[in-house]
Amino acid sequence: MTQYKYKLDTTSKKFKCPQCGKKCFVKYIDNETNNYADTVFGRCDREQKCAYFHYPTYTKSYEPKYHTNEEVNLKVSTIQYEILNQTIKCFDINPLVQYLFKKYEKNKVEQIIKKYNIGTSNMYNGAAIFWQMDDTGKIMSYNTETGKRIKNNDGKPKINWVHIAMKKTNYNLKQCLFGLHLLNDNVKKVLIVESEKTALIMSLEMPEHTWMATGSLLGFKHDFLKPLINKDIIAYPDTGCYDKWSETAKKLNEKGYNITVSNIIEKKEYKKGWDLADAIEFEGEKNAIKQAKTDLNTTAEIQNPKQKTKSKINQSIDNQYYE
C-alpha cells in the first residue's frame, strides 16, 4: 500500500500546542528517519476547544525538507489474532464491562463483547481494549459506577495502544473504524458515532442496526470511511460537532459517498460534548422521573434502566434509519 512520507506520532508523548499552549500536541514523524518534524507541524488533541492542525508544507534551510506529495511504500503492521483472543477474558476486573452489566442484561452484554471482541488489559486496573481488527487495540480506562473515562491528574484520559504497551518497534499503524469487521454484503446501512463505548451502548440499545465508531472527532474522514463508500451512512456527531461532520460529509458525498449527518442531539438541554449514549441516559432518567411522579404521585424514583422503554432518541434514530 502507499503511505505519506509523514505520519502523526502514535506514542503517548505529547508536546505544548503552538496555538493553545496546552500539552496536548501530537507531532508529525518522518517515516524514513523516525525523527520529529518541526515544532509547528502536528495536531492538537483538544479537537473542539483548539483544533490546531498543520501538516508539513514548506521547506527552510534550517529545517527538514517536507514533501507532501511524496509517497513511500510501507507495509502495514498487524497484531496476531492469538494475542487478541488472549485478552477476551477477565471481565470481572474490567470496569467498562462491569458498568454495562449494571445497565443491561448480562447475556446481551456478553453477546456484544463477543461481537466487538472487547478485551481486558493489564493496564489501568483492567482497562477495556477496543480492537481495530488486525491493526491494534485502544486501551481505555473507565469508572465502574459512572461509565465515564478516568483521567490522570493533568486532566488527560488514561489511553494507550496495544502495540505501544507491547513495545513493538517500527510499528506502521493504519487505523480503521471500530467495528469495521462487522461489514459484509448483507449490511446496507451503517450508523457512525465517535466513541467506541457509545457504539457498544447503541448496539445494546438498538441491536438491529450496525454501529461503528471513528474513535475521535477527526476520525470522520475518507481514510476511515472508504470501506463504506457503497453503503448508506448515518453519522451521529457529539453535541457541538455537527457543523464539522456536516462539512466533511458534504465533501465526501461529492466523491460518491451517501452520508447523512444527524442533528438529533443538537439541543440546548444537552451539554457540549455529549453523545448519543449521554442523551439516551438523560432522556431515560427524565422519562423515568416523570413516570414515577405520574404513577406514584410521590417523590420520583428512577426506574431500573434495564427495564426502560425506547426513548425519543431511539425513536428518532429508527425514523432516520428507515426513511
Residues 188/209, Cβ–Cβ less than 8 Å? no
Contact residues for 277 (Cβ-Cβ < 8 A; gap 6+): 195, 197, 198, 201, 202
| pLDDT in the model for residue 156 | 80
d(CA 319, CA 28): 42
Tell me the domain boundaries of the chain: 1-74, 81-165, 177-323
Strand 42-44 vs strand 25-30: parallel, antiparallel, or unpaired? Answer: antiparallel
Mean pLDDT over 227-244 rounds to 95
Q: Is 313 left (phi over 0), alpha (psi -120 to 50) or beta?
A: alpha
Tell me the CATH number of domain 177-323, given options 3.40.1360.10, 2.40.50.140, 3.30.470.20, 3.30.70.360.
3.40.1360.10
- The model's pLDDT over 62-93, given as tens digits with 9 standing for 90+, comes to 343 333 444 445 677 888 888 999 999 999 99
> What confidence category does residue 289 fall into, taking pLDDT thresholds of 50, 70 and 90?
low
Lowest mean pLDDT: which of 36-45, 66-75, 141-150?
A: 66-75
| pLDDT in the model for residue 3 | 56
Of the two residues 287 and 109, the one the predictor is more confident about is 109
| pLDDT in the model for residue 103 | 94
> What confidence category does residue 121 fall into, taking pLDDT thresholds of 50, 70 and 90?
very high
| pLDDT in the model for residue 188 | 93
Residues 150/143, Cβ–Cβ less than 8 Å? yes
Mean pLDDT over 266-290 rounds to 84
Residues 263/244, Cβ–Cβ less than 8 Å? no
- What's the chain's average pLDDT? 83
Residue type, 162: V
Residue type, 267: K
pLDDT at 172 over 60: yes
> What confidence category does residue 320 fall into, taking pLDDT thresholds of 50, 70 and 90?
confident
DSSP letter for each residue of 250-300:
HHHHTTT-EEEE--TT--TTSPTT--HHHHHHHHHHHHHHHHHHHHHSSS-
pLDDT at 59 over 80: no
